Every structure is written in structure tokens, then in C-alpha cells.
Amino acid sequence: MSTDTETLLRIRRDIDRIDDRLHDLLMERAALVEKVAEAKAGDASVPLRPGREAEIIRRLAARHTGRFPVAAVVRIWREIIGALIGLQRPFTVAVCQPERGDGFLELARDHFGVVSGKQVFPSAGHVVRAVADGQASVGLVPLPGDTETDPWWLSLTAGSDNLPQVVTRLPFLPLPPAPGRAEPVEGLVIACRPHDDTGADRTLVAVETVPDLSRDRLRALFAAAGLESGSVLATHREEDRWLHLCEIESYLTDSDPRLVSLLGGGKDPVRHTRVIGGYPLPLSPLA
């Protein structure tokens, strides 16, 4: 046997040992998650911790070195996280996919893994209802826009504690355009749980104002309250009021004094605000 062949055989044996160690650690991690599920046996909430998941992925991406692609690391851990969520409780994802091939089902599969069940719905409103009624654990809906005749995010402003909230934005690791790669789509994940504070987040706030309040004026009001408005994602116009969906560059709750300071009475331009969720900032797009 040649020296080169012996070297290759030794390297392959080393790889096999590493694979066994990786598999052992994966089974050990699964066993720990099962213990968590047992300890939370009386907890009926969705077994999803978007903030914790984001912190795990951020930490791994920050410590990663070598030629192995960081995108592959993220994909591997997303599969692990998705599979382990399903060990705690049945987990299904409602996906808004109005047309075949528009990418939302693939986006859900990339984030939640191949093991979790997927239910496809023709509209975002159907997805919101499926999550609110407990038919699905989480839902994936398109980013809001001004072209919607019946905006899905309005149903998240009704005031009930059982309404879904936005908890994640996808993809968490945007990929650059490449030959053969489908045009990327973006979406928001909703669930019946609060959004998390990870230290690097954005909050979505529905703001009711008097009619004809410009977006520039609204951003100026946010700035005066000490809030940095990243953008106004959508505006829904009604005869006696306008509703703006605003993205704020920090983690907020409804009781935040900066939001409370926006509200006045009488003819003040801002009549009401409601936080409808938020999301951890995704990783920077790969170059």
C-alpha cells in the first residue's frame, strides 16, 4: 500500500471519528431539549424563542473562521433548531403563497427546516387567522406595502392579548444574487407570543393619526419623542383616520414612555399607537 493511500485512509478514519462525535453531540443536545419539554409540560405556548435563536446564529457567525461557508453553518443550525422545536410540541408553519413558485414556501423551509409541517394559504389574512385560531404554530406573511387593499397587519391592532405578533424577519442571512439562485423574497413570521429583546432589534408600531399627516411629519414626531423611525412601511387611509405601520430602530413595548409621549388629546396628530411585534436584526448580507 502506498504512502498516499495510507494517508488518505487515516484522514478518512479521522473524518469518521469527527462525524461520530458530531452525531453524539447532536443526540446529547436533543436529549437536553426533551428535558426542557418535560420541565415545561404544563406550558401550552408555542415552543419558539426567536430572540434566543438569533443570538445563537449571531454568535456562531461571529466566531466562524476557515473556508467552510458561513451560510452553510447557518443552514445547518437552522435545521437543528427547527427539528428540536418539533421535539417539544407539534409544530406547523402557515405560509402565505398566493402563487406557485413565488418563494415563500422555500423561505419557510430554509428557516424552520424540512421536518416541520407546512400549510399553504392563498392570502396573508388566512395565515393570520390560522395562527390566531391555533391551526398553526407560526405564520409566514409577505412584507407589508401600500398596494394592499386589505392589509393583514391591521388585524394585529385589534387590542386582544391573544393576537399574533411579528417575531422574526426572513431571511435571517440574506444571500447575494448568483446564477441559478432564485430572486430572494422577504417575509415576516408571526406567532402568539411577544417579540424578544436581543439588544439589536426593530419594533413594528401601528400608529393611528389624523388624515393627511405626511410621513415626513410623522418621522419628525418620532424624532421629537426620542425614537428613530427607520421607515414607514405602509399607510392605510380611511376617511376619518390614517393608520401607518412604522419600523422603529430599537426594542419597544406599548408602555415605553417614548411611545406614550406621542399621544395627546383633541386635535393632536397622533391618536393611538400599538406595538404589533418586532424582530432581531438579521445578519449583514454576505458579500
pLDDT for the residue 233: 93
pLDDT for the residue 36: 86
Residues of the chain with CATH 1.20.59.10: 3-191
Residues of the chain with CATH 3.30.70: 201-280
Q: Which residues, 6+ apart, have CB-to-CB distance to 170 below 8 Å?
A: 107, 108, 110, 111, 140, 186, 187, 188, 189
- CATH number 1.20.59.10 is the correct assignment for the domain at 3-191: yes
Of 93, 166, 187, 194, the residue nearest 135 (C-alpha): 93
CATH of 201-280, one of 2.60.120, 1.10.1740, 3.40.50, 3.30.70: 3.30.70
pLDDT for the residue 264: 67
Of 196, 146, 145, 148, the residue nearest 168 (C-alpha): 196
Q: Measure the CA–CA gap between 232 and 248, rounded to whole angstroms.
A: 9
Q: Count CB atoms within 10 A of the CB of residue 187.
A: 22
pLDDT for the residue 193: 93
By the 8 A CB rule, do 249 and 228 touch? yes
Instruction: Count CA atoms within 13 Å of residue 185 on its CB side.
Output: 22
pLDDT for the residue 206: 96
pLDDT for the residue 101: 66
By the 8 A CB rule, do 270 and 207 touch? yes
User: At 119, which helix (H) or strand (E)?
Assistant: strand 117-121
By the 8 A CB rule, do 242 and 234 touch? no
pTM for the predicted model, two decimal places: 0.91
Q: Measure the CA–CA gap between 85 and 52, rounded to whole angstroms.
A: 12
Q: Compute mean pLDDT per 10 residues along the chain, 287 residues long, and list them.
A: 83 97 96 87 81 96 94 95 90 89 88 94 95 95 86 87 91 82 86 95 95 90 86 91 94 93 77 95 80
